[in-house]
Amino acid sequence: MAVVVRMPALSPTMTEGTLAKWLKTEGEAISPGDVIAEVETDKAVMELETEEEGVLAKILVPEGTAGVQVGAPIAVIAEEGEEFDLDALLAESGGAAAAAEETPASEETAQPTANTEAPAAPAVHPGAAATDEDDEESYALNGAPDPARNLSITPPADSDPVLPEGTEFVEQTVREALRDAMAEEMRRDERVFLMGEEVGEYQGAYKVSQGLLDEFGPKRVIDTPITEYGFAGLGIGAAFAGLRPIVEFMTFNFAMQAIDAIINSAAKQRYMSGGEVSVPIVFRGPNGPAARVAGQHSQDYSAWYAHIPGLKVVIPYSAADAKGLLKAAIRDPNPVIFLENEILYGHSFPVPQVEDWVLPIGRARIARAGTDVTIVSYGMGMHYAMQAADALAEEGISAEVIDLRSLRPLDMPAVIRSLKKTNRLITVEEAWPVCSIGAEICRRVMAEAFDWLDAPVLTVNAKDVVLPYAANLEKMALPTVEEVVAAAKHVLYRD
Amino acid sequence: MAASTSGKKGGKSTGTRGARKRDTAKANHPPAFGREEELRALRDMLLVRRFEEKAGQLYGMGHIGGFLHLYIGQEAVATGVFMARREQDDVITSYRCHAQELLAGADPKAVMAELTGRLPGVSKGKGGSMHMFHVAGHFWGGHGIVGAQVPLGTGLAFAAHYNGEDRACFAFFGEGAANQGQVYESFNMAALWKLPVIYVIENNRYAMGTEIHRASAKAEELFMRGAAFGIPGEQVDGMDVRAVKDAAERALQHVLAGNGPIILEMQTYRYRGHSMSDPAKYRSREEVQKMREGHDPIEQVKRRLLEAGWATEEDIKAVDAEVRKVVAEAADFAISAELPPEEELWRDVYAEF
């Protein structure tokens, strides 16, 4: 049966091309794999192969013709001696014009509805994040679509759990809280295991996994070779199959070796598979500058991971948050980046002694209530923010400190609620200023709460330099309590 | 002879314990297929080839966009491995993944609809040619970063090992990916922990436009790439589906017996460019035609079927016609199926509890 040969698209960007040369003449026999013509695309000269058997019955576009549209008929292949009606053939095979229709008759597409609903107002426990009553207003954006709305598909539906009257609190280091979280989840679920460099026999490079090997054995507390790319990928494959890996990076600086696996193989997996493959995995370890370890061991990756759809990014400050959020991260069906801090490992905080302390991911916490200025921070930045709030109080300034706890999802309603109270906002973080979490908060506040600002938002960050080794320079490079105090006073016009 | 005994029984060792070339005489005469096996191989390979040819046509017509990497010429590799693997064994591969997707049992209509970016596509039109999965058939993709699937496949084998399940993983990658660092990180861990993973190197001789000798040291012996880790390897005629199935079966026994990983180097050839936009100027037409005419995996099966008197020309044509019909229906479906609606843009970024 006669078939029409059309100008093919031979590259992702080709819309037209030159029919450079016919390699077969009319009437010549052809068989599968034969090159019948040369086509010049926007990139190269390509050979046009046929998979048909027969003869080149008619050439419709002579060689040397430029600007032949993709899909235009260029020749007819038929069986030896076959008669055909060219017009009928062209009409039957989609006409003389380009072949690909733009779109099929498209269905009426429903507007996304699930995404715009505000989370249900949860029960509140005193001293923790406030209510959601203003959420709808703050997300309204004057009707403009929010490009980051995919995060509200899984809204943090719950607030922190309400603690029973008389709950006992015990002082614990962040290090101990993290270990307890892993141990509790490993007892609860056989699928949970820990892998990383020195997590087992060495008891953790920073002693976070102390005692876990003794309790759970080498099957579930696995010392890896120093091959971050490999074991991150291996953990992701294990998560495909339904295990719940906790992958420890000795520090997140070394996770740079594995960032392709984290982003391309973990974060994007569910979307690319249309929801078929999930990756329940936690990548955790210390992040950000430690002390005197210089450029390659002192970087804050919070904004890097917060940039990526498909990841959740958690960064606790207190021991109670470290424990409750790590337990939540291990149970989460998504890849979670859990950013710790080497300096905070040794800091102690009260941790509630309850049966199963799990916190919702995506909910900020009011770490200190205030009325004059809002300080938004996270992780080690909280260390500066809390001290700055004390210093400001001595000058009669009441600062409200918001600990974000999660960077993705980002609890903007909590930030905006506080801003509506104080009308002044600064951010504090140890990351570099360019494209930082502070910069993101500025973007969101501009769009969602501009009219509530009485002064431009200021961000306090590490200086935009490689972290130096010299003690004096290192100190200059990192944010200081004084800088936070100065920024707060500046937005209050009191400097 | 079981692969696990390689290099110990005085087999043709190349000097490194465990790794060996296939015995030449044996390679020329792999265990014969029965009639049913030959017919299954014919049908599976024809399905892949006709599907890929149709995909190429749809690309030329503008129905398929972006990158499209065709499997034409390499059919015996995936087909032979799938004939050897058991239902529960995992498979993972690179972006040249349509064959594995089809052989794992995905509906050709849904596979073609993925290529045209439509809602009924296997990934709802959101993954495209390079990101196809069929979890029901234990096929885990479809990965676009060269070599990335190797640690992932090692992790699938790790999960089988961790759970104590009777399950292995076939991790496919090209000879170009065989130079990636993460491949060796995976080899090390798989050998260290004795994971049940079969590394299938599809050596089609060209890493995009780079001929293997220009990119790989010891290019003739990729099956030896695990030698430093004590991983045995075998070179296989990847154009002969019988040799592929035989090697894959023995490799499966080897890893399931707790011996750790094994490498199979499948020597194969792709007839088309690396992707649709590759003019393939790095090799001669004669080279391609020589492979097509002398080594085509489908023609080999046809010839054997005819010689054995197990099928007539008409029988073979009937199989081809049946496959062509499946593929034509898939194409018709794929170009008329519904586009993903706007809400799909926002779906599947996160899993919910």
**Residue A364 DSSP code:** -
Q: How many domains does chain A have?
A: 3
Is A81 inside a domain boundary?
A: yes
Same-domain check for residues A243 and A376: no
Residues A311 and A401 in one domain: no
Kindly state whether residues A334 and A464 are assigned to the same domain. no
Contact list in B for residue A239 (CB cut-off 8 A) is 155
Looking at residue A151, its pLDDT comes to 56
**Size of the A and B interface in Cβ pairs below 8 Å:** 229
Three-state SS string over chain B comes to: CCHHHCCCCCCCECCCCCEEECCHHHHHCCCCCCHHHHHHHHHHHHHHHHHHHHHHHHHHCCCCCCCCCCCCCCHHHHHHHHHHCCCCCEEEECCCCHHHHHHCCCCHHHHHHHHCCCCCCCCCCCCCCCCCCEHHHCEEEECCCCCCHHHHHHHHHHHHHHHCCCCCEEEEEECCHHHCHHHHHHHHHHHHCCCCEEEEEEECCEECCEEHHHHCCCHHHHHHCCHHHCCCEEEEECCCHHHHHHHHHHHHHHHHCCCCCEEEEEECCCCCCCCCCCCCCCCCHHHHHHHHHHHCHHHHHHHHHHHCCCCCHHHHHHHHHHHHHHHHHHHHHHHHCCCCCHHHHHCCCCCCC
Residues A337 and A432 in one domain: no
pLDDT band at B20 (very low <50, low <70, confident <90, very high): low
Give the per-residue pLDDT at A148. 63
> Which A positions 306-325 lie with beta carbon below 8 A of chain B?
309-310, 312
The verdict on A190 and A47 lying in the same domain is: no
A104 inside domain:
no
Residue A301 counted as domain residue? yes
For residue A109, the model assigns a pLDDT of 37
Residue among A233, A309, A332 minimizing CB distance to B182:
A233
For residue B274, give the nearest of B112, B153, B129 by alpha carbon. Answer: B129
Assess if residue A410 is contained within a domain: yes
Q: Is residue A358 part of a domain?
A: no
Q: Are residues A345 and A468 in the same domain?
A: no
A475: exposed, middle or buried (Cβ count in 10 Å: 0-12, 13-18, 19+)? exposed
Active site (annotated) includes residue A82:
no
CB contact under 8 Å between A112 and B346, yes or no, is: yes
A430 included as an active-site residue: no
pTM value?
0.87
> A389: domain CATH number?
3.40.50.920
The reply to whether A332 and A376 lie within a common domain is: no
A45 falls within a domain: yes
| Cα B208 → chain centroid | 17
ipTM passes above 0.85: yes
Q: Tell me whether residues A276 and B125 touch, CB distance under 8 A.
A: no
- Per annotation, catalytic residue among A52, A176, A228, A342: A228
Query: Nearest residue on chain A to B125, judged by CA atoms?
Result: A274
In DSSP terms, which residues pair with A78 in a beta bridge? A55
Nearest Cα of chain A lies from the Cα of B200 at a distance, in angstroms, of 17
Of A227, A229, A274, the CB nearest to B124: A274
Nearest CA in chain A to B276: A10
A92, A118, A150 - which closes a domain = A92
Residue A217 in contact with partner chain B when CB distance is under 8 A: no
Q: Are residues A377 and A334 in the same domain?
A: no
Give the list of residues 6+ apart from residue B63 with CB closer than 8 angstroms, or none. Answer: A100, B115, B116, B334, B335
Query: Given A352, A385, A403, which residue is the final one in a domain?
Result: A352
Chain center to CA of A475: 30
Domain of residue A74, CATH code: 2.40.50.100
Got the DSSP string for A211-272?
THHHHH-TTTEEE--S-HHHHHHHHHHHHHTT-EEEEEPSSTTGGGGGHHIIIIIIITHHHH
For residue B220, is pLDDT > 50?
yes
| pLDDT at A95 (0 to 100) | 55
Tokens representing A95 are: 């006409």
Residue A162 lies in a domain: no
Query: One of A198, A297, A307, A490 is an active-site residue; which one?
Result: A297
- Biggest alpha carbon distance in chain A? 101
Residue A433 and residue A469 in one domain: yes
Residues A72, A189, single domain; the answer is no
Q: Is B111 exposed, middle or buried (0-12, 13-18, 19+ CB in 10 A)?
A: buried
Query: Domain spans of chain B?
Result: 34-332
A265 touches B at CB < 8 Å:
yes
Which one of 3.40.50.970, 3.90.25.10, 3.10.450.50, 3.40.50.1980 gives the CATH number of domain B34-332? 3.40.50.970
The residue range of the domain holding A40 is 3-92
Q: Are residue A346 and residue A404 in the same domain, yes or no?
A: no
Residues in chain A: 495
Q: What does the pLDDT read at residue A131? A: 42
Same domain flag for A225 and A247: yes
pLDDT tens per residue across all 495 residues of chain A: 788 888 888 877 788 889 989 999 999 998 877 888 988 887 777 888 887 788 999 999 999 999 999 888 999 999 888 888 888 888 876 655 544 444 444 443 333 333 333 333 333 333 344 444 444 443 444 445 566 655 544 444 456 888 888 999 999 999 999 999 999 999 999 999 999 999 999 999 999 999 999 999 999 999 999 999 999 999 999 999 999 999 999 999 999 999 999 999 999 999 999 999 999 999 999 999 999 999 999 999 999 999 999 999 999 999 999 999 999 999 999 999 999 999 999 999 999 999 999 999 999 999 999 999 999 999 999 999 999 999 999 999 999 999 999 999 999 999 999 999 999 999 999 999 999 999 999 999 999 999 999 999 999 999 999 999 999 999 999 999 999 999 999 999 998
Residues of chain A with Cβ-Cβ distance to B332 below 8 Å are: none
Task: Let me know if residue A145 belongs to a domain.
Answer: no
Q: Can you read off the two tokens belonging to residue A106? A: 């498209």
